[in-house]
Amino acid sequence: MALNIFNTLSRSVQEFVPLDPSGQRVGMYCCGPTVYDFGHIGNFRTFVFADLVRRYLEFRGFTVRHVMNITDVEDKIIRRVRETGQTLRDYTGQYEKEFFKDLGELLCLRPHDTPRATEHIAGIIALIEKLLARGVAYQTGDGSIYFSIEKYRGCGCQYGRLVKLNFEEMRAGERVSSDEYDKESLADFALWKARVPDDGAVFWPSPWGEGRPGWHIECSAMSMAILGESFDLHLGGEDLAFPHHEDEIAQSEGATGKPFAKYWMHAAHLLVEGKKMSKSLGNFFTLRDLLAKGFTGREVRQLLLSSHYRETFNFTMEGLEGARTALARLDECLAKLRELAGSTTGVPEAKLVGDFTAALDHDLNVAAGWGTVFEWVRETNRLMASGQFTAQQAAAALAAWQKIDAVFGLGAKAEAGVPPELLALLDERQAARKAKDFKRSDAIRDELKIKGWVIEDTPKGARLKRV
């Protein structure tokens, strides 16, 4: 069976066939973070989804080039820079650093390219010049440049490919200057914004005077600079379909006359306890908020990967506890398999890999993929308990899991997941036992238990395990 994905462009499930004539290389662009604050778990649902898409394409044998931009200049950032008095680079740099740290905690592979918008200003200007030359952009009195939807449609191009739009309500020449707007303000949008006093030191020279790019043109310029004028796959959260992605298509195809991205995939939003996340409701979580509660990035990743990307994800603390339990079950089974396999190696067991592939080939149905995995855990546990499992079979099962985990990306339960101060306590407990100071060693054991960890004495020494 071939890999099929839901393409927002055609609003249907389609076979994934890359543009590369040899069917090998895949160019994939995912709109990256706007680095004006810490990323929240909603943002990370989308980035973990992008990581899943890349990993699954690689699992299916494609050679993927994964690009994720860093939006380091747009309206919200400029507002914050003005408020804090920091330079643009200092302000965005701190959140960019934290973003990559969070991405690492969530065990996401680092995209191959992570271009910053501010490093692509020349390309952005060149793209706007093309749009002016082709007559689909125009300059206003203040030196700003806008994209003309009317002119674009007049050339036979379609605006409104990803979402349905009501052009009846649109008045020719009406303009919207903000980076974010909704369908009601369907209007010509800004490509280049002339410098205003509120921009402070954030401006660049251009053929039209000093100013800065609009948000949408940044992604058109960066994606095409790295992946070419036409590429395979464009991803983002569902909120970006309009206006951001619609504008990206119009700008790119308006400038090149060629099809932009062949497939568009959108991840549905994440809600918390059924509600939109908001600071005022107290249901707003960054990744670090969850880590501070004692959860690991691996557990959050498992949870975010547990349901289909096109379904709205309802994040709850119970769900996160459930992810912890699910991982513990899986880890326990894998540990037993490792013990049984010893140094035996094996070829991946075909059924497990085949069932998993069949599930994910259908528009990345991870829920069905997990169903297969947990069914396998149940059966494997049963066979191991009845003593019917050989070292050879255990090795084949482990090899199959390793293939699957190249997609889920959970890795082995890392000792590194144990906070260093607890590892230090564990060492102290071992030293106390050696010195026959059992009072101290018991006190440490109790202290660890309160913190949610138990000591497991194994032939290889003592380890910490979550309660």
Binding residues for ligand AMP, rule: CB under 6 A, are: 31, 33-34, 42-43, 45-46, 71, 236-237, 239-240, 267, 269-270, 277
Q: Would you count residue 221 as binding Zn ion (CB under 5 A)?
A: no
Query: What residues from 81 to 120 belong to the interface with Zn ion (CB under 5 A)?
Result: none
219 versus 352: smaller Cβ distance to Zn ion: 219
Shortest Å, Cβ 51 to ligand AMP: 13
Least distance between ligand AMP and beta carbon 136 (Å): 25
* Minimum distance of ligand AMP from residue 210's CB (angstroms): 25
Minimum distance from residue 139 beta carbon to Zn ion (Å): 24
Per CB under 5 A, does 131 bind Zn ion? no
Residue 290 to residue 284: CA distance in whole angstroms: 11
Q: Output 270 or 407, the one with its CB closest to ligand AMP.
A: 270
- Which one of ligand AMP, Zn ion, none is in contact with 212 (Cβ closer than 5 to 8 A by kind)? none
Question: Of Zn ion, ligand AMP, none, which one sits near residue 272, judging by CB under 5 to 8 A according to partner kind?
Answer: none
For Zn ion, which is the closer residue by CB, 162 or 464?
A: 162
The CA distance from 181 to 215, in Å, is 12
Q: Which is nearer to ligand AMP, 313 or 453 (CB)?
A: 313
Question: What is the nearest approach in angstroms of ligand AMP to the Cβ of residue 33?
Answer: 4
Q: Measured from the CB atom, is 31 or 360 closer to ligand AMP?
A: 31
Q: How far is the CB of 230 from ligand AMP (least distance, A)?
A: 22
**Encoded amino acid at 344, one letter:** T
Sign of the four-CA dihedral 417, 378, 456, 450: positive
Is residue 217 within 8 A of residue 124, CB to CB? The reply is yes
Query: Of ligand AMP, Zn ion, none, which one does residue 123 interact with (CB within 5 to 8 Å by kind)?
Result: none
- Convert the chain into a string of H (helix), E (strand) and C (coil): CCCEEEECCCCEEEECCCCCCCCCEEEEEECCCECCCCCEHHHHHHHHHHHHHHHHHHHCCCEEEEEECEECCCHHHHHHHHHHCCCHHHHHHHHHHHHHHHHHHCCCCCCCECCEHHHCHHHHHHHHHHHHHCCCEEECCCCCEEECHHHHHHCCCCCCCCCCCCHHHCCCCCEECCCCCCHHHCCEEEEEEECCHHHCCCCECCCCCCEEECHHHHHHHHHHHHHCCCEEEEEEEHHHHHHHHHHHHHHHHHHHCCCCEEEEEEECCEEECCECCCHHHCCCCEHHHHHHCCCCHHHHHHHHCCCCCCCCEEECHHHHHHHHHHHHHHHHHHHHHHHHHCCCCCCCCHHHHHHHHHHHHECCCHHHHHHHHHHHHHHHHHHHHCCCCCHHHHHHHHHHHHHHHHHHCCCCCCHHHCCHHHHHHHHHHHHHHHCCCHHHHHHHHHHHHHCCEEEEEECCEEEEEEC
Number of residues that bind Zn ion (CB under 5 A): 2
> What residue is closest to ligand AMP based on CB?
237
Rule CB under 5 A: is residue 219 a binding residue for Zn ion? yes
Q: Which is nearer to ligand AMP, 314 or 402 (CB)?
A: 314
Task: Using alpha carbons, select from 70, 77, 93 the residue that is nearest to residue 36.
Answer: 77
**Shortest spacing between CB 162 and Zn ion, in angstroms:** 13
Contact status, residue 67 vs residue 258, Cβ threshold 8 Å: no
Nearest to 216 by CA among 174, 197, 188: 188
Nearer to ligand AMP, 102 or 299 (CB): 102
Residue 219 binds what, of ligand AMP, Zn ion, none (CB under 5 to 8 Å, by partner type)? Zn ion
Rounded to a whole number of angstroms, the minimum distance from the CB of residue 215 to Zn ion is 7
Q: Between residue 19 and residue 48, which ones bind Zn ion under the rule CB under 5 A?
A: 31
Q: Which is nearer to ligand AMP, 33 or 115 (CB)?
A: 33
Given the complex with Zn ion, which of 246 and 355 has the nearer CB atom?
Answer: 246
Give me the least distance between CB of 99 and ligand AMP, in Å please: 9
Query: Least distance in Å: CB of 268 to ligand AMP?
Result: 7
The entry of ligand AMP, Zn ion, none near residue 8 (CB within 5 to 8 angstroms by kind) is none
237 binding partner (options ligand AMP, Zn ion, none; Cβ < 5 to 8 Å by kind): ligand AMP
Q: Which does 46 bind (CB under 5 to 8 A by kind): Zn ion, ligand AMP, none?
A: ligand AMP
Nearer residue to ligand AMP within complex by CB, 237 or 297 = 237
Residues making contact with Zn ion (CB under 5 A): 31, 219
